Amino acid sequence: MRRKLSAACAAMFIAGFLVPAGTTLTSSADQRCTPIAHVLDANTIPGNANQDPDPSNPDETYHDKAGLNCIPTYELDFTGALDGTLPSSVYTSGRCDPESAYDQVAAAIQADPDFYAACRRLKFTMGPIIARPGMNDSLINVTTFEHPMYDGYTLRWKPGLQSADGSVPPVETLHLHHGTWLGGVNGPSSVVGPFFATGEEQTILQFPKGYGWTMQGMSAWEMLYMIHNALPTTQAVYITYDIDYIAKTAGDNLTWKDALGHTQTGIRDVKSIWMDAGAGGSQLTWDGSAASTNVYSPFNPLFNAQRGLGHVDDGAFHGLTGPSDPTNPLTTVSISQNAGTGKLVCTFPRENCAHFDSSQHAGAQATLQQGKETQSIIGHATDPAFADCPELGYISPGHPKQCAVLVNMGGHLHPGGLRDEVAVKRGNKLVPILISDAVYWGGGALSNPPVADYSNPELAGAPPKSWDLSMTGQLGGSAGTGRAKDAWKILVQPGDKLILNGVYDTAVGSAYDQMSIVMSWTHPGYEPDAIDPFDPNTIVDAGWEEGPNLTARPSGLPDAIDVGCTPGTVPAGEPNAGKTVLCLRGNVTHGSMPSRQNHADCAMASSCVSLTSLRVPLASTTITMQGFNYGQVDQNIAQVAGVPQVAVNTKLTFYNPDTSGMVWHTITACPEPCTGPTSANYPYPAAEGTPVDFDSTILCVGLGCSTAGTYSWEFTPTQTGMYTFFCRIHPFMRGAFEVT
């Protein structure tokens, strides 16, 4: 549905569907796609032929090879759902097993008999969602039964997307651009605003062992989602998510060992924190005031990163950890092993990253850091405290006042993104605490200029311009070797501010309508094994984390981050003995997924064909885009009738009447000939070899679009040559004209 339900309406909605706990219903398996499904493990479904999905292909988790279920669903009787009683078959299946070497928490739980016995992996779907042709807008849905129907703790959350036939669509044709779960009626007890989000990278949320996220069975959530259908046909899809879950009674009675070897009882509840570098009005300046850098829709806070802007990457936290600005009153902490890539990058909102923003504002209307530069912004500021978070006093001498402990953190970026950077500001001091890297799969560069080798999908290091990426994150896991500090667990106190910047490549190509989002979870209270980043004995290290309880880092990572960092307290006999090493970088939660592995571009043999040598005069300076083509400048027409020609300095006007049907388009420069097949990494905006960099921004109206809505775009080419372009939303659309 395309409207947000009030709390009262949502409560009525739930009351109309929930069956009282005393009612007896018969449990049964539905062999069809069900619009509302409480999904348990697929193995419990009679007739499901995919009881043993290929473990090397995480995209096939829900795929029914027999075709009996387009998505495996299991309608649980509500009596069992509400009191926590599950079918006996679930107790012999649905285990919380690790799915890959990157599942650190699942591996830790599997190794603990008590946790493993209590944990269940529940599978859910939300849908069917009808993705109309060209759909790319933000919608809101209420989820009522698509979650655990009894109180408990979430330990892990794996998001996904699936077509109606059970397959996972290729990312270049259809994907979940982003999804955000919002607290609704009786939602997670600790929710303030968004409580989980995912994007194309589909990071798996994991909480350190001993921590969980309280859920209420009698609840309704809301989900803000953007399904990107790059096809001109209607598609039926389902948003999927696997939840590792422990019933509340079992969780409250669990005993476990913490990093110091102390016995703990019960699962520690966590709260979510949302940070978004594109949100307007929350950018903090040197003097502590706020500055707005974004006027785009609040449902879709975006920014641009254009090729050629920014600075040569000399390390993370550019301008915040060095003497770049003599007027900067902040005291900053140096970072050891903080190597940069040596390539051009731009840090938003720290720097001006584009000539215009995502709403076409430029010139006198330009917004800060999108055409109008200021050096005073240090990043997006977020208060990690909550209204119900206690301000704890001094626990003992030397322990500062605090509000909570950060137990995990990870970021979200779009293609072209390199890393999210988070620091904590306390008074006039700034200390880095996280670097969340985008790891691009498919191989490394083989030549200069670089050409990607996509022969090995498990090898990292491909150019930063594809959907085949994973994000790294940090967990408060044990550092091992008997050290007194956890690998990553950060103390925050009242008044602290989390400062976020997103770093995008501006050497390989331009990147439009980008995001830089980081989510973190906190546990209120004091924990003696956590790290105070402001302690003078804390060493901040940008190296790659490789503690003994963490998986080995992926091979082939860029040199700038492929360095070691051993977390925890430095033992006696070593340099800096007694000090604590805070490792900024973490690990990915999954490797490359098959639905992202279609790689092709014009650098690969026979991928692109030349444009026709035929030329014809441009019939009109008014160009209408309708029916998923560029009209008289569409390449399909040009290859037959000839490439249209127009005189230099002639103003062209592009119209998008498709926007009346909520179909949005762009006119975005891409390297000539821009004729290759659409893939996970092609075409790409204004990459190397593009003589002119231009982008119309999205011509659209509606929720998630520009606040004013835009039907047309005017463009005056000022130099001669071939202009090739594509639609960023429907990349199979290609256009070309020649300027003489």
**Residue (of 194, 218, 196) closest to 205 by Cα position:** 196
Q: Please tell me the predicted confidence (pLDDT) of residue 265.
A: 92
Which H/E stretch holds residue 9? Answer: helix 7-17
- From CA 65, how far away is CA 414, in angstroms rounded? 32
> How many Cα atoms within 13 Å fall on the side-chain side of residue 239?
30
Q: Please tell me the predicted confidence (pLDDT) of residue 121.
A: 84
- From CA 563, how far away is CA 583, in angstroms rounded? 11
DSSP string, 632-693: GGBHHHHHHH-EEEE-TT--EEEE-GGGGGT--B--EE--TT--SPPBTTBS-TT-TT-SS-
Q: Please tell me the predicted confidence (pLDDT) of residue 425.
A: 92
Contact predicate 102/589, CB 8 Å: yes
Angle (nearest 5°) at CA 101 between 98 and 106: 30
pLDDT tens digits, 277-315: 987 668 888 888 888 777 666 666 789 999 999 999 989
Angle (nearest 5°) at CA 469 between 466 and 470: 165
End-to-end CA distance of the chain: 49
Cα→Cα distances 582→130, 310, 537, Å: 46, 28, 10
CATH superfamily of 615-739: Cupredoxins -  blue copper proteins (2.60.40.420)
- From CA 464, how far away is CA 469, in angstroms rounded? 9
Which H/E stretch holds residue 195? Answer: strand 194-199
Cα→Cα distances 278→6, 194, 236, 293, Å: 27, 16, 31, 7
- From CA 218, how far away is CA 220, in angstroms rounded? 7
Q: Classify residue 616 by burial, with Cβ atoms within 10 Å: 0-12, 13-18, 19+.
A: middle
**Helix, strand counts (H, E) of the chain:** 6, 46
- From CA 360, how far away is CA 287, in angstroms rounded? 30
What stretches of 62-151 adopt beta strand conformation (E)?
A: 120-131, 138-143
Q: Please tell me the predicted confidence (pLDDT) of residue 295.
A: 67
Cα→Cα distances 293→289, 473, 587, Å: 13, 26, 31
Query: Position of tokens 């720290």?
Result: 350
Domain ranges of the chain: 7-269, 274-591, 615-739
Which residue ranges in the chain fall short of pLDDT 50? 1-53, 55, 57-92, 189-192, 323, 387, 394-397, 446-447, 481-482
- From CA 140, how far away is CA 300, in angstroms rounded? 13
DSSP string, 227-249: EEE-SSS-EEEEEEEEEEEEEHH
Cα→Cα distances 222→10, 179, 192, 195, 218, Å: 9, 10, 13, 10, 14
Rg of the chain on CA atoms, in Å? 26
Q: What is the 3-state secondary structure (H, E, C) of 245-301?
A: EEEHHHHHCCEEECCCCCEEECCEECEEEEEECCCCCCEEECCCCEECCCCCCCCCC
Contact predicate 207/104, CB 8 Å: no
Helix/strand/coil for 518: strand
Q: Please tell me the predicted confidence (pLDDT) of residue 477.
A: 67
Both tokens of residue 188? 């997670």
pTM of the model: 0.86
Cα→Cα distances 605→75, 119, 198, 585, 665, Å: 50, 50, 35, 37, 29
Q: Please tell me the predicted confidence (pLDDT) of residue 302.
A: 86
pLDDT tens digits, 488-514: 889 888 788 999 999 999 998 999 989
Cα→Cα distances 333→348, 540, 541, 595, Å: 20, 8, 11, 41
Contact predicate 736/399, CB 8 Å: no
Contact predicate 280/297, CB 8 Å: no
